[in-house]
Amino acid sequence: MAIKVLVVDDSSFFRRRVSEIVNQDPELEVIATAFNGAEAVKMAAELNPQVITMDIEMPVMDGITAVREIMAKCPTPILMFSSLTHDGAKATLDALDAGALDFLPKRFEDIATNKDEAILLLQQRVKALGRRRIFRPTVRPTAPTPPPRQSANAVLGGTATHAQPAPAPVRSSPATSIRPSGKQYKLLLIGTSTGGPVALQKILTQFPANYPHPILLIQHMPAAFTPAFANRLNGLCKIEVKEAANGDVLRPGCAYLAPGGMQMMVERAGVTGRVKVLAGSAEMNYKPCVDITFASASKAYGGDVLAVVLTGMGADGREGARMLKSAGATIWAQDEASCVVYGMPQAVASAGIATQSISLDNMAESILKESARG
């Protein structure tokens, strides 16, 4: 049975175009359209759609208010459409805080290389949200694309082997069952995509100001959004959070967010680690790419890394995590039940790379226990 979709936008052209694209996929069906947030709230309650696409700026009731009301009355996976501006980024983050799960630029062609890819991108996002078996409004937001056409191994000249996936994923572990390994880490890596903004906020706001290691964050997100996201996290967290810049020296208790549209790598000279930000290969679909950052960390820090793969579509992070594990690093994945989309964590867990599969509710506590210096 097709996934039922409600399309909400004050532009008749955009409602029609989104509806056409959604209905091209036999697994999707637009059951209604609405031209403002108030109408969307009413239709959501009456029609029970499985996914809602929502504009932000609308008359009568804006999209953020509509998201809050829908989440309170009839929680439904919501995909926001946003302008690629600073104000659009802030509004989108507000919508994710309100309960929306994902977003796309209002001109989603802007993040695709061609028209066909843009169409597929929208269809994939809607299907990913519509396939959620259980909706949990406490786990929300963002943004991946189709699988990369080229692996991090090819780009970076890595030599990691491509082992066959293990037959069974790791079981989810409660925080109380996580016993610190006693390893002395020098770096924490966190990679994520759809659902990542809220997941990262939930985790990082629990870290103390004296967290003992530098943190690299790789979140699939457009270039216009990462400065606003870093600023928001910095205002909410005890640790410092900043958008990474080329040449940044890694400091304990500071999180460096990979800039949208770029690749973030890490280099090391003696005890000093530095961030390297570059455009990277045009053949990489993900910018930033979790595989790229993870792979560079495997060369710079070897086994002195704790790497965590959170909610997201696709398999970005699997090959970089494989390289890290080969170097002796510790790899964890978010568990299926707490993911918005169980794609990236599943890829790592199913391949036998992750040693723990942990709920989002327990992730911060688990990281803090494992990161504590003996």
Distance of alpha carbon 7 from alpha carbon 323, whole angstroms: 42
Identity of the amino acid at 81? F
- Respond yes or no: is residue 316 known to be catalytic: yes
State how far Cα 239 lies from the chain centre: 20
Nearest one of 136, 351, 359, 104 to 221, comparing CA atoms = 104
Distance of alpha carbon 369 from alpha carbon 366, whole angstroms: 5
The single residue of 316, 338, 357, 371 carrying the catalytic annotation is 316
Distance of alpha carbon 140 from alpha carbon 67, whole angstroms: 12
Look at the block and give the residue holding tokens 């699939």: 220
The single residue of 102, 220, 298, 338 carrying the catalytic annotation is 220
Contact between residue 185 and residue 332 where contact means Cβ atoms under 8 Å apart:
no
Nearest one of 187, 210, 172 to 306, comparing CA atoms = 187
Helix (H) or strand (E) holding 229, with range, is helix 226-236
Distance of alpha carbon 216 from alpha carbon 257, whole angstroms: 6
The single residue of 83, 151, 172, 193 carrying the catalytic annotation is 193
Identity of the amino acid at 294? F
* Residue 156 half-sphere exposure toward CB, CA atoms < 13 A: 26
DSSP secondary structure string for all residues of 38-65: HHHHHHHHHH--SEEEEESS-SSS-HHH
State how far Cα 39 lies from the chain centre: 30
CA distance to 179, 195, 291, 306, per residue, from 309 (Å): 19, 12, 11, 10
- Respond yes or no: is residue 193 known to be catalytic: yes
Bridge partners of 266, per DSSP, are: 275
DSSP secondary structure string for all residues of 153-194: HHHHT-----PPPPSSPPPEE-GGG--------SEEEEEE-T
79: helix, strand or coil: strand
Active site (catalytic) residues: 193, 220, 316
